Chain A
């Protein structure tokens, strides 16, 4: 019996303690609630923007403002000490932090910082000039694709009405070759920049997409395999070791015979 009571006592205490804490702060204070709500809205905006702009991929350039507001929303929560304690630190399942991590990770994993001139603390300021130039060239290529073919997946603003004849499909490769070439050149410049393979995802995704259209839809890639000369060189190179080792072998055995001969002679004597 005593044992039972002693077991019961802490339970009662816990119950009382819990109701008391619940009574004190059932929900965050007024300011904090507002901050939380703002943050929720900003994050959902950001998510919407991200998914919406994933094809054609313009996430970095379009969602930049939403991203900055999301950062600010989080910052205001963190900077307010009370709210930070209440909303973030008191929770085991820190949804605010997880959401913030999601926001930042998505941004960084898409290499979005590479599209912008950034502040010291990583806030994007404005789009780099080379990126804008790239998109100008991309527009030109898209125009050309559109004007010269009937296949167009992305609605492109049209200057003059297109005539959709099959003959023009064939001419896509010829007529767009130049603009496609300059686009590739521009991409290569961005790629060989100081950050190496960290290329802004807007750029790399649209470049990939354009390339795939160029090769898969229009079949413009011409491959010259140059089979004869490659095979000739290969055969030549393969003969080198054969000749080398055979000659070594022959020479080795010849000299051995000689040695053996002399030694036999000596022995005979």
Chain B
């Protein structure tokens, strides 16, 4: 890609200056903007263009090219994990009685219980719907196939199958494309971003949940190469975000419950619990679920939260277990802990001398994963560039559905691998061109839902699959899976990876046996499991959580060691070439994600190099205005520095001593409440140019609750109408600002700030000089622009661009 730009001097993109909320510009512009315009107008300046043309072209190219990984979109906002400890906050904290505090703590557990329960119910609904739909579909097609093997009408079931699949997938695609585009894909990247502290728009909304759940039912039942596990995790997270707020903004219904939890900090805790519950329901892996949330959101963690998340996971897997057991007839059987069931691996073991063989498989898996990611990456770039219109997206999905079905049919048609029915216990034997009393082995792979195929590959006896069958199926399904992921349908990645891996793993096991018949080899099913782990590890590059998930899904601890080794090696091999698929998709979207580690090669970079100097500062008592950042330092001006009077461009701008920080959302609420509250109670005070004279404005009736009620959808500033007269009003920010914001000295290193951001879950931090005067502001995007890359054994530091929201493809 564009490694050439790896350490370019800071080249400012236009977007940094354009307000996040475009729209109404008040009369007062941010003070630095005029200065910036002079340097930046160069793009239109012909003289400069001729000298600088090459650089401009390269910048232009990187801006317009939608598939670039070297960019960050400015449309993503961070979550506010830091509680603003303003006067209102303390007032409210003081008002709590001990009983109320106890109730809040108990409510946390109650919410976790509800999250686990609801997630399991959704998982159950998905599972049963897919089961019923797929059963109906396959029974109908089987009827026609059975009739047509002796008649001359094979094209009828073929067309019927294609038509049914297209119909199912059409429903899923329309829901996603026209309903909620963010529901596409597996949802794990979005949840990863959320837990990291970036809000992907619409990701935890009710509408997304509906589109995702209904969509995944139809995309899986429609025979696409995708699974329902990833979407389940997303669903769990949405449930958590919804339940914990005690209301639905989509339906505009407020249950007046859990109002205390209406802030980013609490919501994130619950979302991590919901994601854990989702994993737990998907794989029957409660510990894996907790570890998943830990791995993806580990920067801010505490023990009691972990315990609550584990509770949610357990509730989720147990509820699902009970529901599925009731559905299957034996209410207290409890043998269905998760949606995907690998079956028990009792008696299927491996010997310790086979571990080196597993390592070879891991290398193959890593290579395959890298290939998968590379193909999918290029495909996604293509989609971003050319597949833009909604109806074109739907058509692409339909074409993939047609091709998936065609592949399945052609595979069954041409592979006549027939096995006697007596030997195996399979639920829907498809005879096809086999003799009476036999079934087509290929049919067990492609003529059933992917979950059943996985189970068959893991557990059917040695002789069930001919080598050629597996050799034909594995690459075909691999390509289909690469093609499918990234389409505009909800599609999980786990199942296709597991299925592909199980196929070639089993092939490897069978091949070993035929090459060295004298050796004592483990069961072919064990090789299938290891192959599945290798492929999965090579594609998604997850570590501890994936190990534990697979271990729990197999229910066999002794497979822990080989699975771990395989995942480790597969990750190393894959990382040599590219990144994990989820990371690629996150970067394609330009999400300012902060990685696990600080970019260690960015030594020598200081806060003063990365901070943005164009701030809007407020005095403690301030006029209305609008601007770009989401947090505004509140300062006391020292004499001359005044926002009507921009300082000379050469001298570093200082704004005044830090008094506190106020958030955009808080300001908006303040402005919105003004008509009823302020004018009457004198929060807006006539400007007197001397802060000391201003009366405190004690009469205001705003409480923390008013801020909380607007959460999470604060109205954009343009919806707040401010009359010209009100613009001249002044507002006392002192009760609302956070008087003790995190600040950092402008000479601190980038690494230090990175760690602060990562550990505290910050959204922005104020940079000050030695006199505690504001000199700039560091936001998440300023830090996320510097990141490490590693490719083919080399590592380096790259600086990426921040792009305007409009130039980016709007979904995963």
Contact = CB atoms under 8 A, between A and B. Distances in A.
A89 interface: no
A205 interface: yes
Contacts of A225: 154, 413, 433
Question: Would you call the interface of chain A mostly helix, strand, loop, or mixed?
Answer: helix
24 contacts: A196-B427, A197-B427, A207-B437, A208-B420, A209-B437, A211-B435, A212-B436, A214-B436, A215-B435, A215-B436, A221-B436, A226-B148, A226-B153, A230-B155, A230-B409, A230-B410, A230-B413, A233-B406, A237-B403, A238-B406, A244-B396, A245-B382, A249-B386, A252-B385
Contacts of A197: 425, 427
A222 B438 CA distance: 14
Interface in A228-269: 229-230, 232-234, 237-238, 240-241, 244-245, 248-249, 251-252, 267
A223 B435 CA distance: 9
Contacts of B395: 244
Contacts of A209: 437
Interface in B390-437: 392, 395-396, 399-400, 402-403, 406, 409-410, 413, 420-422, 425, 427, 433, 435-437
Contact of B437 (A215, A223, A226, A248): A215
A208 B421 contact: yes
A59 B473 CA distance: 39
Nearest to B425: A197
* CB-based closest 10 A-B pairs: A211-B437, A215-B435, A226-B154, A211-B436, A229-B155, A252-B386, A215-B436, A248-B386, A212-B437, A237-B406
Given A225-B154, A225-B433, A267-B49, 5 more contacts: A230-B409, A230-B410, A233-B406, A238-B406, A240-B403
B151 interface: yes
Contacts of A211: 435-437
B392 A248 contact: yes
A224 interface: yes
A240 B154 contact: no
B155 A226 contact: yes
A216 interface: yes
A222 B154 CA distance: 13
B396 A226 contact: no
Given A205-B422, A224-B152, A248-B386, A237 B437 contact: no
Contacts of B155: 226, 229-230, 232-233
Contacts of B425: 197
Interface of A: 196-197, 205, 207-212, 214-216, 221-226, 229-230, 232-234, 237-238, 240-241, 244-245, 248-249, 251-252, 267
Among B396, B399, B427: residue with most chain A CB under 10 A: B399
B435 A234 contact: no
Contacts of B149: 223-224
A234 B409 CA distance: 9
A197 B425 CA distance: 9
Contacts of A222: 150
A101 B684 CA distance: 86
Interface string B520-533: 00000000000000
Contact of A224 (B154, B382, B400): B154
B539 interface: no
Nearest to A235: B406
B399 A244 contact: yes
B406 A234 contact: yes
